[in-house]
Amino acid sequence: MGIRIKGTGRCIPEKILTNEDLEKMVDTSDEWIVTRTGIKERHIAEAEQSSSDLGAQAALNALENAGLTADQIDLIIVSTVTPDHAFPSVSALIQKKIGAGKCPCFDIEAACSGLLYALNTAYGMMASPLAYKRVLVVAAEKMTSLVDWQDRSTCVLFGDAAAAVVLENDGDPNTPDFYIAGEVAADGSVSDILIVPAGGSRTPASAETVANKQHYIQMGGPKTFQLAVTSMVSACRNVLEKSGVSPDEIVWAIPHQANRRIIDAVAGKLGIPEKVYLNVDRYGNTSSASIGICLDELNREGKIKKGDLILTASFGAGLTWAALLIRW
């Protein structure tokens, strides 16, 4: 149908928090963090910066890369687990900030799998009778707003960032779609292993929930690791099988940048370690923004060319997971 990736963008906060900085804040060390996660530093948003601020800048950068203006966008989809407010949506705030007019917009909450969920959704809406021509997909996350800086098992993992992708249907049936095959899935039976317990309708905010630190990320490490590897490997294999593409044909593999050990395990099981793109050492886990950041770096550094096949995969709270095989 001619649906392709027209442009990419990212927004990375200027402030850097290194492992050496964390050594002064909590009982940890650079060696401990690097050995277990592969992370050396992460970027931290300013107190006054919100997810919509980061997302709006990433969106503007992607529009510039695409050679489009905001008023040409027909639909905005935003992935986030750190919205500015319970409502209105982050997508509505980004629409206003970039001057996108009155196009429809909505948020997706699929945790770290959010960008791939959103790209699958966007493609479906562009290929449906709705026939949106240009769609802006944004992943915007201020993960440090959910971090307990006294919990050494989680505070070393996360960073803040946003990424954006502009999709366009050029109407040329001779132009191959960017979307080759995808899979999205979830298993709510293990929803308790990665959770922020309070702040929603189940446990509204109160003095007690704040005192008990129930508004911070809580994670079951070993089980999360096992499920992450299993789910991403399965999704990638399913996508490759559905598409008829072999691992040898993949130019780049972009797994969610959560943990170097998880990434290495997934790449090893798929037999593609030499094709994996990595930046987790520089950004940490930026949730749904991570794959978009990788795409933008590859795009702007000229490391991908037209027709290249890119395999992406992610997992997140829910438990959610997804994979998407992209043709550049």
Residues identified as active-site = 112, 256, 285
How do strand 160-169 and strand 179-186 relate by DSSP bridges? unpaired
Q: Where does residue 247 rank: exposed (0-12), middle (13-18), buried (19+ CB within 10 A)?
A: middle
**Residue 91 vs residues 65, 98, 288, 290, 297: alpha-carbon distances, Å:** 20, 11, 15, 18, 23
> For 113, how many CA atoms within 13 A lie in the half-sphere containing its CB?
26
57 Rama sector, left if φ>0, alpha if ψ -120 to 50, beta otherwise:
alpha
Q: Work out whether strand 134-142 and strand 160-169 pair parallel, antiparallel, or are unpaired.
A: antiparallel
Which residues sit opposite 185 in a β-bridge?
321
CA 291 – CA 116 distance, rounded (Å): 8
- Give the DSSP per-residue string, 34-100: HHHH---EEEE--TT--HHHHHHHHHHHHHHHHT--GGG--EEEEE-SS-SSSSS-HHHHHHHHHT-
Instruction: With CA atoms as reference, report the closest residue to 295 among 258, 260, 257, 248.
Output: 257
Enter the tokens of residue 73.
């966008």
SS3 content of the chain, % helix, strand, coil (to 5): 40, 25, 35
Please, where are the H alpha helices in 132-248?
207-211, 221-243
